[in-house]
């Protein structure tokens, strides 16, 4: 699809009042995730090099999600009388943004699995429909990339509920309620990971809900500071940005030099996700004030940011797993110098084609419908980009 047609296709969205700095962060996150999941076809040395320099795009998504949605929640709590009706409205807005596309892709995968294996039981994949696939133990059997969606859905179901309970029943102010829950989540999740380390439990915690909730909360903390202490949020944005970049670079340097070998497990289990989340948080004061791009490439970054959710849901299990891996490549050629670049080209091309199609024909219309439906219309954020994440 020619670039000129893509620009035309997204002309309305490109004119919207978006925050370009956050689009950059979302762009980096999705590109690194797709690169990471497509590396398997390359020689071992390339994979090893990539593992040294890779960026944790999912954690970046988590922090950005917490910052944006946490900001919406804070504004609603401060500008309206907190009630469970307001909470329900918040949930509906969130679910309209995330669930339809997720359920669409999951249902397509369910059909594909049933075609591949007539004995395939719906029960095997049913837990993915209510996000319990990695609630108590990690799993990536049928829809591997969905683990992060499960983390987010459980976070936005439980954390706002706890905040509303403190406000409504314990009469705490929103400011104090949010701070209490934020500190509780950050402390509790870090303590749980430390417990894994100290007891040397052999658990793959990386994709398990309870051990990843703190990354989203770092973003909420950013929204909290931005709203209640905007003077400090905007005081040293460039210095904080540089500090965040330095933390990322130090993490990579330690990984390459193996300098953390003596404390490897402690860092990998207890500290790594906290530091990555903190580094991402430190980027936000600067990036949230970068409103527009002066360059043409900015439009490409914004477009990829817009379709990032569909890209995330389609690139791995559906495109790589269901489509490309089922092509009988050796029937056409046994030359892997042809197969590998062709596979990789189709991997990216189909990801973009599927994502643009789903975004324009399905995701965007449902998002527009969401903006017309609400229990509390006066509480709906006017900026349509507020819920444009993942």
Q: What's the CA gap between 195 and 356, in Å, rounded?
A: 43
Convert the pLDDT of each residue in 299-326 to its tens digit: 999 999 999 999 999 999 999 999 999 9
Render each residue's pLDDT in the chain as its tens digit; 390 residues.
444 468 778 877 888 889 999 999 999 999 999 999 999 999 888 888 888 889 999 999 999 999 999 999 999 999 999 999 999 999 999 999 999 999 999 999 999 999 999 999 999 899 999 999 999 888 778 999 999 999 999 999 999 999 999 999 999 999 999 999 999 999 999 999 999 999 887 778 999 999 999 999 999 999 999 999 999 999 999 999 999 999 999 999 887 887 776 777 899 999 999 999 999 999 999 999 999 998 889 999 999 999 999 999 999 999 999 999 999 999 999 999 999 999 999 999 999 999 999 999 999 999 888 877 655 555 444 444 444 444
Q: What's the CA gap between 56 and 60, in Å, rounded?
A: 7
Q: What's the CA gap between 320 and 26, in Å, rounded?
A: 22
CA angle at residue 167 from 96 to 179, to 5 degrees? 85
Q: What's the CA gap between 12 and 7, in Å, rounded?
A: 9
Q: How far is CA 351 from CA 35, 50, 134, 286, 361, in A?
A: 12, 21, 25, 30, 15
Q: What's the CA gap between 155 and 189, in Å, rounded?
A: 12
The count of C-alpha atoms lying within 13 angstroms of the C-alpha of 368, restricted to the half-sphere facing its C-beta, is: 8
What pLDDT score was predicted for residue 49? 83
What pLDDT score was predicted for residue 377? 52
List the domain boundaries for the chain: 3-379
Burial status of residue 133 (CB atoms within 10 A of its CB: 0-12, 13-18, 19 or more): buried
CB contact burial 211-237 (16+ within 10 A = b; e otherwise)? bbbbbbbbbbbbbbbbbbeeeebeeeb
Convert the pLDDT of each residue in 337-381 to its tens digit: 999 999 999 999 999 999 999 999 999 999 888 877 655 555 444
What is the 3-state secondary structure of 223-278?
Answer: HHHHHHCHHHHCCCHHHHHHHHHHHHHHHHHHHHHCCCHHHHHHHHHHHHHHHHHH
Other CB atoms within a 10 A radius of the CB of residue 334 amount to 9
What pLDDT score was predicted for residue 136? 87
Q: How far is CA 112 from CA 81, 139, 142, 269, in A?
A: 47, 19, 11, 36
pTM score: 0.94
What pLDDT score was predicted for residue 204? 83
CA angle at residue 177 from 171 to 178, to 5 degrees? 155
Burial status of residue 65 (CB atoms within 10 A of its CB: 0-12, 13-18, 19 or more): buried
Q: What's the CA gap between 38 and 376, in Å, rounded?
A: 43
Burial status of residue 39 (CB atoms within 10 A of its CB: 0-12, 13-18, 19 or more): middle
Other CB atoms within a 10 A radius of the CB of residue 95 amount to 15
Given a contact cutoff of 8 angstroms between Cβ atoms, the answer to whether 373 and 74 are in contact is no
Q: Which residues contact 345 (CB under 8 A, 6 or more apart)?
A: none
């Amino acid at each position: 699809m020619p670039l000129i047609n893509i620009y035309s296709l997204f002309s309305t969205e490109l004119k919207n009042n978006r925050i370009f700095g956050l689009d950059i962060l979302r762009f980096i996150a999705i590109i690194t995730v797709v690169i990471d999941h497509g590396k398997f076809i390359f020689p071992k040395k390339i994979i090893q090099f990539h593992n040294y320099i890779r960026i944790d795009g999912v954690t970046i998504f988590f922090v950005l999600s917490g910052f944006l949605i946490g900001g919406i929640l804070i504004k609603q709590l401060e500008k309206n009388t907190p009630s469970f009706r307001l909470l329900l409205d918040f949930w509906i807005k969130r679910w309209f943004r995330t669930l339809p596309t997720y359920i669409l892709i999951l249902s397509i995968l369910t059909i594909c699995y049933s075609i591949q294996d007539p004995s395939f039981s719906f029960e095997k994949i049913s837990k993915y429909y209510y996000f319990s696939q990695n609630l108590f133990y990690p799993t990536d059997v049928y829809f591997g990339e969905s683990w992060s969606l499960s983390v987010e859905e459980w976070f936005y179901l439980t954390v706002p509920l706890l905040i509303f309970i403190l406000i409504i029943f314990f009469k705490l102010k929103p400011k104090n309620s949010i701070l209490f829950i934020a500190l509780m989540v950050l402390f509790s999740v870090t303590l749980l990971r430390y417990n894994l380390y100290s007891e040397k439990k052999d658990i793959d915690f990386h994709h398990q809900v309870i051990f990843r909730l703190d990354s989203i909360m770092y973003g909420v903390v950013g929204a909290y500071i931005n709203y209640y202490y905007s003077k400090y949020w905007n005081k040293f944005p460039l210095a904080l940005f540089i500090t965040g970049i330095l933390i990322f670079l130090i993490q990579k340097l330690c990984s390459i030099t193996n300098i953390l070998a003596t404390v490897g497990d402690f860092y990998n289990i207890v500290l790594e996700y906290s530091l990555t989340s903190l580094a991402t948080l430190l980027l936000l004061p600067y990036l949230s004030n970068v409103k527009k791009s002066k360059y043409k490439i900015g439009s490409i970054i914004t477009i990829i940011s817009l379709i990032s959710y569909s890209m995330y849901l389609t690139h791995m299990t559906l495109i790589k797993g269901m489509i490309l891996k089922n092509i009988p490549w050796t029937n056409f050629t046994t030359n892997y110098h042809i197969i590998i670049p062709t596979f990789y080209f189709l991997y990216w091309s189909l990801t973009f084609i599927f994502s643009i199609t789903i975004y324009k024909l399905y995701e965007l219309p449902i998002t527009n419908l969401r903006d017309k439906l609400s229990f509390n219309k006066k509480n709906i954020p006017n900026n349509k980009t507020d819920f444009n994440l993942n």
